[in-house]
Amino acid sequence: MTPPPSSPSSIPPPIPVDTHPNRAPGSKAPEQDRIPDPDRLAPEDAYFATSLSRARSAPANYEDSLRSINDGSRVATLRAPRGMLGADPSRKDVTKLGAAGGRRRRKGAWKKLLWVKQTYPDNYTDTETFLDHLQRNPRVRPYDFWPLVADSTVIVQHVCSVVIFVCCFVGIVQDRVSPVSIVCWGSVGTAMGWILWDNWIWREQAELAQGAQVAIGGDDGSSLSSMASVANPSGNEPQPNGTKGSPIHGLGLTMSGNESKEQLSQRTAEFNGSLDEIGDPALPVGAPSTASSIALGSTDAQDNERRSLLTSRNRQRLSTVKSAFLIYFSLLGLSPILKSLTKSTASDSIWAMSCWLLIMNIFSFDYGSGEGAGATTKFPASLSTNAAVMASTVLASRLPSTTHVFSLMLFSMEVFGLFPIFRRQLRQKSWTGHVVLTLVLVIIAGGAVGTTLGGGWASAIIGSMLGSILTAFSMGGCSWWLISLQKYKNVVIGPWDPARPIIRRHWN
C-alpha cells in the first residue's frame, strides 16, 4: 500500500519526473479519462488479435535505430509523445466531458515508473502507455512473385542434378547405358566447366590488378593509406572465390577424402596465387618505398604484374591437373574395395538408405549464394556433400564390376562435388547462363526420367516436356503459396526482447 496521496513522495526528486522513461520529460497532461482513440493500441488489443489490424504510423524516438524502416504502414510503433497531445487544446474539452464523475479525477497522471509511489492500484492499466512500444512485423520484406521464382531455380537445379544422377545409376544397373560413356560425358562436361571457371577467375584477377594499377598510377603513391585501401580489395577479393568452394572443402570424411583433397589443393592453389599476387613486388602492401617506385614506373609494373599473374595461374592449373590425376588414380585403386563394401547388406536396405541420404543431401544443401556470413554457419554444408557421396558409395556397391564402380564414383564426385561450385559461380557471373543451365538441366532430367520409365526417344521427349511443365508449375505454385502464407506473419517486437548489442571490433 502506498502512503496516502497527500504526502505523495518523501523522496525529493531533483529532476522533473517524466511520465514515461522513454519519453520527453516535462509535458504531461492529466488525461487518463480520455475516450479511446481508435488509432491507438488499447489494452484489449493484447488479447483480441483481430483488433490489431489497424494501421498506424507515428514518429519514433530511439526505436528508429532498431527499425530498418520499410513500409511504415505495417508498423505499429510508438505513439506520438504525450506532449503533443497535451498541447492540443481541444483535448481539454474531451477530458472534461469524460470526467463527469468528479471522483474519478485523480491526483496525478499515472507514470510508467516503479520507484514512484502512485495512487493507482497495482493492476491499473494505462490505455495511453500500455504496449506503446509494441511493434508488429517491423522488418518484414514482402516477397515479389518473379524474384521468388527466379530464386527457386537454384533448388530446381540441384534437384535436377540429383535426378539425373539417379537415372544414370538406374541406367547403369539395368545395363542400358555404358558407365564409361556416362563418365566420359561427365568428365568432358567437368573439363569444360573447369576451363570456363578458370577463365572467369583469371579475368577477374586481371581486372582487379589492373584496377589497382590504375589507382596507384593516378594516386602518385603520395598517400599510403589510400593505396593500401586500393590494394586491399585486390588482396581480399579472390578470397570469396576461394570460400565459394569452402562448403565443399569441408567434405573430408572417409570416402570423400580424395575429392576434398582435390578441392582443397585447388583452393589453396588459387589462394596461393592471390597471395603471390599480394606478395609480389608489383603490388606493394605497406611498403612506401616500393610504392613510390611503382608509381614512377607504372607501365613496367603492369607488365610485371601480368607476367606474374600468368605464371601463378599456370602453376595453379598445373596443381589442379595434378590433384585431378591423384583423385583419379586413388579412386581407381579404391574401386575394388568399394565394390565389395556392402556385399553382406540386402539390396532393399541399400535402396532405402540411398534414398534417405539423397533426400538429406537435397534438404541440407547450401542453396545460398555464399555471400552472407550466416549462409554457411547454419548447416554444415559438408553434411550435404557427405550424404551424397555416401549414397553413391552404397549404390556403387550394387554394381557388377570395378569399372562400373569407378565410373559411378567419379560421376558422383563430378555431380555432387564440382558441379555445385560451377553452378554458383555461373549464377554470379551471368544470369542468362544460369537460366539456360536450369532449362537444360530440367529438360535432361525430365528426359532421363522418361527414358528410365519408358525407354526410347518418344518417352524421353514426353518426359522432358512433362517435366518442364511440371517444374514450371511447381515453381510458380510454391512461390505463390509462400507469398500467400505471408499474411499469417506476425512478428511481435517490444522492449522485452533481448537487445542486440552493436559492437565494433577494433582490435585484431
Partner 1 sequence: MPYNIAMVSDFFFPQSGGIESHIYQLSSKLIDRGHKVIIITHAYKGRTGVRYLTNGLKIYHVPFFVIYRETTFPTVFSFFPIFRNIVIREQIEIVHGHASLSSFCGEAILHARTMGLRTVFTDHSLFGFADAASILTNKLLKFTLSDVDHAICVSHTCKENTVLRASLDPLMVSVIPNAVVAENFRPLSYTPSPFDQIPTSPLRTHGYPGHPLGTDLLIAAIPRILALNPNTRFIIAGSGPKAIDLEQMLERNVLQDKVEMLGSVRHEEVRDVMVRGHIYLHPSLTEAFGTVIVEAASCGLYVVCTRVGGIPEVLPQHMTTFAKPEEDDLVVATSKAIAALRSNKVRTDRFHDQVKMMYSWRDVAERTERVYQGITGEISSEEFYGYYPGQGWEASGDRVRSFALIDRLKRYYGCGVWAGKLFCLCVVIDFLIYVFLEMWFPRANIDIARSWPKKQPAEKSRPPTSARSIR
Residue 153 neighbours by CB distance under 10 Å:
22
- What would the DSSP string read from start to end of 328-358? HHHHHHHHHHHHTTTTTS-HHHHHHHHHHHH
Distances (CA, A) of 294 to 33, 54, 59, 302, 501: 78, 65, 55, 9, 44
The nearer residue to partner 1, 346 or 503, going by C-beta atoms, is 503
**In the bound complex, what is the minimum distance in angstroms from residue 103's beta carbon to partner 1?**
6
Distance CA 384, CA 341 (A): 22
498 counts as binding partner 1 under rule CB under 8 A: yes
Q: Compare residues 111 and 423 and give the one whose CB is closer to partner 1.
A: 111
Cell numbers 603520395: residue: 222
What track of x and - describes contact with partner 1 for positions 211 through 240 (by CB under 8 A)?
Answer: ------------------------------
The residue from 74, 106, 306, 429 that contacts partner 1 (CB under 8 A) is 106
Residue 10 near partner 1 by CB under 8 A: yes
Is 89 near partner 1 (CB under 8 A)?
no
Distances 123 to 110, 118, 130, 299 between C-alpha atoms, Å: 12, 12, 12, 80
User: Applying CB under 8 A, which part among 1-9, 140-148, 191-199, 324-332 lies near partner 1?
Assistant: 1-9
Q: Tell me which stretch binds partner 1 (CB under 8 A): 18-26, 257-265, 373-381, 431-439.
A: 18-26
- Other CB atoms within 10 A of residue 192 CB: 11
Stretch that binds partner 1, among 71-79, 106-114, 204-212, 294-302 (CB under 8 A): 106-114
Angle at 104 between CA 101 and CA 106, to 5 degrees: 140
* From candidates 8, 30, 72, 98, binder to partner 1 by CB under 8 A: 98
Among 13, 89, 102, 374, contact with partner 1 (rule: CB under 8 A): 13
CB nearer to partner 1: pick between 94 and 466? 94
Query: Based on CB atoms, which residue is closest to partner 1, 123 or 289?
Result: 123
Site for partner 1 in 63-82 (CB under 8 A): 65
Q: Which x/- pattern over 434-473 shows residues binding partner 1 (rule: CB under 8 A)?
A: ----------------------------------------
Which one of 62, 344, 348, 372 is in contact with partner 1 (CB under 8 A)? 62
Alpha carbons 422 and 153: distance in angstroms, whole number = 15
Which of 6, 7, 14, 254 binds partner 1 (CB under 8 A)? It is: 14
- Do the beta carbons of residue 364 and residue 384 sit within 8 Å? yes
Q: Which of residues 393-412 bind partner 1 (CB under 8 A)?
A: none
Given the complex with partner 1, which of 11 and 346 has the nearer CB atom? 11
Own/partner contacts of 316-324, CB < 8 Å, gap of 24 or more, are 316/266, 316/269, 316/270, 316/272, 316/273, 317/198, 319/265, 319/266, 319/269, 320/194, 320/262, 320/265, 320/266, 320/269, 322/265, 323/261, 323/262, 323/265, 323/266, 324/262
* Smallest gap from residue 116 Cβ to partner 1 (A): 8
> In whole angstroms, what is the distance from residue 425 CA to residue 427 CA?
5
For residue 2, what is the DSSP state?
P
- What secondary structure does DSSP assign to 439-483, as a single string? HHHHHHHHHHHHHHHT-SHHHHHHHHHHHHHHHHHHHHHHHHHHH
**CB nearer partner 1, residue 111 or residue 158:** 111
Residues in the chain: 508
Give buried/exposed letters for 440-466 (b at 16+ CB in 10 A, else e).
Answer: ebbbbbbbbbbbbeeeeeebbebbbee
Distance from C-alpha of 295 to C-alpha of 292, rounded to nearest angstrom:
5
The residue among 394, 466, 468, 481 whose CA lies nearest residue 438 is 468
Residue 343 vs 505, nearer CB to partner 1: 505
**Residue type, position 370, single letter:** G
Q: Which of 487/500 has CB closer to partner 1?
A: 500
**Site for partner 1 contains 35 (CB under 8 A):** yes
Q: Where are the alpha helices (DSSP H) in 61-144?
A: 82-87, 90-98
Report CA-CA distances (Å) from 297 to 180, 193, 216, 282, 287.
Answer: 55, 38, 11, 10, 16
Which span sits near partner 1 by CB under 8 A: 44-52, 140-148, 428-436, 457-465?
44-52
Contacts (CB under 8 A) with partner 1, residues 111-150 = 112-115, 117, 119-125, 127, 130-131, 133-134
Q: Closest Cα partner for 424 from 161, 168, 183, 164?
A: 161
* Interacting span for partner 1 (CB under 8 A) from 43-51, 244-252, 318-326, 440-448: 43-51
Q: Does 15 bind partner 1 (CB under 8 A)?
A: yes
Cβ closest to partner 1, residue 99 vs residue 149: 99
Q: What is the nearest approach in angstroms of partner 1 to the Cβ of residue 133?
A: 8
Work out which of 1, 90, 348, 484 binds partner 1, going by CB under 8 A.
Answer: 1
Q: 38 vs 372, which CB is nearer to partner 1?
A: 38
Determine the residue type at 427.
Answer: R
Tell me which of 146, 484, 487, 504 binds partner 1, using CB under 8 A: 504
Q: At closest approach, how far in Å is the CB of 471 from partner 1?
A: 32
List contacts with partner 1 (CB under 8 A).
Answer: 1-4, 9-11, 13-15, 17-18, 21-22, 35-36, 42-44, 46-47, 62, 65, 98, 101, 103, 106, 112-115, 117, 119-125, 127, 130-131, 133-134, 491-507
